[in-house]
Structure 1
Amino acid sequence: MGFTGIPDDAFDFFRELGLDNSKSFWRRHRDRYERAVRGPMADLVAELASEFGELRMLRPQRDTRASHDKSPYKTYQGALVDLEPGLGFWLHLDASGLHATGRYYSRAPQETAAYRSVVAGDRGGELQSLVDGLETLGYTVGGATLQTRPRGIRADHPRVALLRHRTLDIGRSCDRTAAGLPSAAEWVALTWRELRPTLEWLSVHVCPVARELRRSETAR
């Protein structure tokens, strides 16, 4: 039948999992997860794949090995497609609704250094204009940031807010009512289309610098 919307029980499932994140809860509600969460998300992912490429759905179990939080399950269902390493589209469903973003998520110091060197330079104003335009459309700019400006960046730098970022996660959300409609698939697609120019800018101007920095580090 294809994607028909996210059922109400998916949001209720994650709300209840947040209150009782235990293996016993999961065992009792595993069929419910498959029916209300994973099945509809798989249908949504399949509908988006023709335009954006094959998305990978995340497993529900958390990797707790390096975390102080030992709760065994994620309180969201995520899916992503990478345009290249560290850059791509992200989608997740949680108790509050559906969230669609575009991300530059640096996994090594070289990626952060590449991002900051380009954004601080002559072409960084282009990214600022793209981000400003998205904020005007109601998008939220998130991601991991420093509490203060990076070392070597003056306080009055015109892009100091962007330069504080170690990762960028730009997107928007819809509530459970809107996510419950078949049109939620087109809402995600429109979100990603509007984000695509920003991701393409990062792909052209930041990712090659990151690759060169990684090669330089490897050659040492």
Structure 2
Amino acid sequence: MAFTGIPQEVVEFYEQLEADNSKAFWEANKHRYRDVVKPTTQALCDALGEFGPFHLFRPHNDLRFSKNKPPYKTHQGAYGESEGGAGYYVQISALGLMCGTGYYAMAKDQLDRFRQAVDAEHTGAEIADVVADLSRRRYSIGAIGALKTAPRGYPKDHPRIELIRRKGLMASKDFGAPKWLHTKQAATKVRDSWEGAAAMNAWLDAHVGPSTLEPEGFFGG
């Protein structure tokens, strides 16, 4: 299936699922997920194949450890990872399209390398400039979370303490649901966004790289 855009039916499916996140709704409408939502997401990933291969997240929430979650996810996400370690995430929901790239959740060994590189004068100034440039270009800079204070061994008044406190580093763009969402331009927008953050990913791959520990999670799921 060639990617031609995200059909309005995909957005409507998630609007309705948000309004009625029940087994009854899902059973009555799972053919829409199977026949439209999942193939559309797969086609989008295929169009972005140079950043893959991609893993499509399952539509069901894991309720084993949280009884307050709704049974079904109100978005469809997909995740790919470069050989260097940088991740690429794309998501379709009732709100439209968003994508992100970077290291959303760093493992302990990655955090150690990341903080040391941010602390070092040359490499730290380099990534600070890259992040500032991304912010100027209207990327949202985030991560899975951040410490409330400086980690052990780092001064609270460090000039790059905001970066050092992060538990990851990613850049994302939330496109919403403009008219081009329903055209091939949607893939181009995601590709341009990921390519626009290439300097950040190159720095992360060079100074952090993949974890050698068991993975703890992806971008969102």
TM-score bucket (shorter structure): 0.7 to 0.9
Q: Alpha-carbon deviation of 1:67?
A: 2.6
1-structure distance, mates of 2:23, 2:83: 35
Kindly indicate whether residue 55 of structure 2 is the aligned counterpart of residue 56 of structure 1.
Answer: yes
2-structure distance, mates of 1:205, 1:81: 20
Kindly indicate whether residue 139 of structure 2 is the aligned counterpart of residue 145 of structure 1.
Answer: no
2:217 paired residue number: none
Higher helix share: 1
Q: What secondary structure is seen at the aligned counterpart in 2 of 1:174? A: strand
Kindly indicate whether residue 64 of structure 2 is the aligned counterpart of residue 65 of structure 1.
Answer: yes
Q: What secondary structure is seen at the aligned counterpart in 2 of 1:154? A: coil
Q: Alpha-carbon deviation of 1:176?
A: 1.4
Instruction: Tell me if structure 2 keeps the 8 A contact 1:80–1:88.
Output: yes
1:79 paired residue number: 78
Kindly indicate whether residue 7 of structure 2 is the aligned counterpart of residue 45 of structure 1.
Answer: no
1:97 paired residue number: 96
Bigger relative contact order (CA 8 A; separation at least 6): 2
What per-residue deviation string (whole Å, max 9, x for no partner) do you get for residues 11-51 of structure 1? 222222223222221111111122332121111111110x2
Q: Alpha-carbon deviation of 1:189?
A: 0.8
- TM-score for the superposition, normalised by structure 1: 0.86
1:21 paired residue number: 21
1:205 paired residue number: 207
2-structure distance, mates of 1:45, 1:150: 37
Aligned length: 210
Q: Alpha-carbon deviation of 1:107?
A: 5.2
Q: Answer with 99-108 or 36-45: which moved more.
A: 99-108
1:11 paired residue number: 11
Q: Alpha-carbon deviation of 1:205?
A: 0.8
Kindly indicate whether residue 179 of structure 2 is the aligned counterpart of residue 159 of structure 1.
Answer: no
Instruction: Tell me if structure 2 keeps the 8 A contact 1:100–1:188.
Output: yes
2-structure distance, mates of 1:77, 1:53: 16
| Change in CA separation of 1:137 and 1:79 when aligned onto 2, cut-off 3 Å | same
Q: What secondary structure is seen at the aligned counterpart in 2 of 1:171? A: strand
| Change in CA separation of 1:104 and 1:180 when aligned onto 2, cut-off 3 Å | same
Q: CA RMSD of the aligned region, Å?
A: 2.1
Task: Name which of 193, 199, 212 aligns with 1:191.
Answer: 193
Identity of aligned residues (%): 35
1-structure distance, mates of 2:67, 2:125: 39
Letter in 2 for 1:184: A
